[in-house]
Structure 1
């Protein structure tokens, strides 16, 4: 994967920054609310930081685009009402799908999510939105957050 990241870096620099989203820390939780995604390499870095945090990362609301690579963090869970949206990575304000970026993202997916990603979601400019429960059905290693903890 490091080789893929190195090759893709010049292509991804133009993708812009991570869109503003709430990443609130409270106690032993980090809440990721309505994250629109953004630059894939920046999200990979954010993922590493979240993994090292030692806190439960609760993905809540609508997580889409590059945010979806956070779903497989070992310390992450999906809010019961969350929606997860997938589409091909693209250079902002264009329909250009840069090479390698979909491969980087796909390396973070598992099971049926990975199958669907490489089965066409990675080349589609249309958003493919699924519920948290559907996500867990496709990737049983992912867990739904305890709803009591979400308050």
Structure 2
């Protein structure tokens, strides 16, 4: 039986081909995830009802590492969405609305254990500028109802205003 070998894909050629692909993939991956490539992207938030605190914290850390800007100019930003307010490149418009409440279990009717309530309250508070953090810990975290405030009140508490 005669064996045919494709040119360039002998044992050495196959290794070179795989190494070449690996290096090309690594180079493309580095370009895709460099801060310079992503930093120019502005994330615009509008009509965001919130969601999982843990998932939002993970997203925020990713945004922070890329140095992206977050703008909340119109609509509402409730619950876990408000965690964006602690990012250094976040700005709000005076007319945007923000809803705050304490941490809750996603399943209605279940009460969070006190230790979990304290833990998640602190996680949330750590994502706010200091004056907003103090207000949240003293007032909003104890509410199960949404406490709505406008962007101009947040600006008065030290959040940057969009220009």
Under a length normalisation based on structure 1, what TM-score does the superposition of the two structures give?
A: 0.71
Query: Counterparts in 2 of 1:122-141, with a 5 A limit?
Result: 122-138=141-157, 140=158
Gaps of 5+ in 2: 1-37
Structure 2 contact 93–152 (Cα < 8 Å) conserved? no
Q: Aligned residue for 1:69?
A: 83
Among 105, 115, 125, the residue aligned to 2:134: 115
* CA RMSD, Structure 1 to Structure 2 (Å): 1.9
Among 95, 104, 112, the residue aligned to 1:90: 104
Superposed displacement of residue 120, structure 1: 2.5
Structure 1 contact 32–57 (Cα < 8 Å) conserved? yes
Larger Rg, first or second structure (1 or 2)? 2
Under a length normalisation based on structure 2, what TM-score does the superposition of the two structures give?
A: 0.66
Structure 1 contact 59–71 (Cα < 8 Å) conserved? no
Superposed displacement of residue 95, structure 1: 5.4
Q: Aligned residue for 1:34?
A: 47
Inter-partner Cα distance in structure 2 for 1:115 and 1:77: 19
Structure 2 contact 94–155 (Cα < 8 Å) conserved? no
Size of the aligned set, in residue pairs, is 119
SS in 1 for 2:43: strand
Q: Aligned residue for 2:95?
A: 81
Superposed displacement of residue 79, structure 1: 2.8
Structure 2 contact 85–129 (Cα < 8 Å) conserved? no
Moved over 4 A (4+): none
